[in-house]
Amino acid sequence: MKADYEYLLLTRIDDHVLLVEYNRPQDANAKNTAMSEEQHDLFESLYVDQNGIRCVILTGRGKHFSAGADLKERKEMTDAEWQRQHAQFEQGAIAIKNCPVPIIAAVNGAAYGGGCETALNCDFIYASTAAKFALTEITLGIIPGTMGTQHLAHAAGERRAKEIILTGLPFTAEQAHSWGIVNKVCQPDALIDDTLATARRIATNAPLAVMRGKRAISVARYTDASTGYQFELEAYNRLVGTEDRREGVLAYNENRKPDFRGK
């Protein structure tokens, strides 16, 4: 994992939590090609080596989470250039989905278009009362292209997803919460602290178990119940022989906090 990027600000907290901030506040954290490449690089590197990171918080610097693709950069693009850029966006989205470390989106402001899709690609979402969401692609003659049609339908149901995507209208954090898109709505000045409290809780648990639990839930969404259960059992049985499993049981019996080491 690189120490720094141009458009991503990384802050390591308590050894095991990584705060990632989109860092183009002057452009509402709209994603240009370079930012997308950096997102791909960061989360792909966490797939290969977690480097002690057990939970990631993804948010935006300034007043917004992300306004989606940078349409100023796209203004003069040819069709081929647009599709080439979108291929990079696709890889950045896939890197988030494939990251074995849990990722919590802390949506602090506008999450529009690809920014909304990015939040949906995370494992779950905490949102400020100031947050606004929208999938506006339909108003530009396209549709969501980084798994928005998939994840929104799973979170909010097919009918609500069709309404949101086919109108392109924005919705509030409170609406997102009531529709099952957002897990928790926070006051603006409490958003990061509330998200960090949950991230720290996740980070205290056995990292191998957390990663396999995350993967088992994700697999279950896209397969039949029997296949999903077989994946769960395979993941479970792989954890039985780990040092962390033995440490967890020993700590319980000794009435102390376990010291999980990811082994």
CATH (domain of 244): 1.10.12
Catalytically active residues, by annotation: 69, 114, 117, 137
Residue at 3 is within a domain: no
The reply to whether 174 and 231 lie within a common domain is no
Same domain for 145 and 109? yes
Are residues 99 and 198 located together in one domain of the fold? yes
CB atoms under 10 Å from CB of 170, counted, come to 16
Token digits for 127? 């949102």
pLDDT reported for residue 222: 83
Domain count, the chain: 2
Q: Does one domain contain both 56 and 118? A: yes
Does residue 40 share a domain with residue 150? yes
Bridge pairing between strands 132-134 and 171-172? antiparallel
Cβ distance 146 to 114 under 8 Å?
yes
The CATH number for 48's domain is: 3.90.226.10
Q: How far apart are CA 180 and CA 138, in angstroms?
A: 22
Same domain, 91 and 177: yes
Residue 117 lies in a domain: yes
Asked if residue 54 belongs to a domain, the reply is: yes
Buried b (16+ CB within 10 A) or exposed e, 226-261: eebeebbeebeeeeeebebbebbeeeeeeeeebebe
Grouping H, G, I as helix, E, B as strand and the rest as coil, residue 112 is strand
pTM of the model: 0.93
Query: Same domain, yes or no, for 219 and 151?
Result: no
- Domain ranges, residue 66: 8-203
| Same domain assignment for residues 151 and 248 | no
> Residue 2: inside a domain, yes or no?
no
107 shares its domain with 196: yes
In a domain, 22, yes or no: yes
Q: Going from the first residue of the chain to its last (263 residues), give the mean pLDDT of each consecutive group of 10, the final group possibly shorter.
A: 88 94 95 94 94 96 93 87 91 94 97 97 97 96 94 96 97 97 97 97 95 92 89 92 92 91 90
- The kind and range of the H/E element at 11 are strand 8-13
Give me the pLDDT at residue 73, please: 84
Identify the pLDDT of residue 71. 86
Say how far apart CA 105 and CA 244 lie, in whole Å.
Answer: 27
Q: Do 97 and 17 share a structural domain? A: yes
Both structure tokens of 118: 């990015």
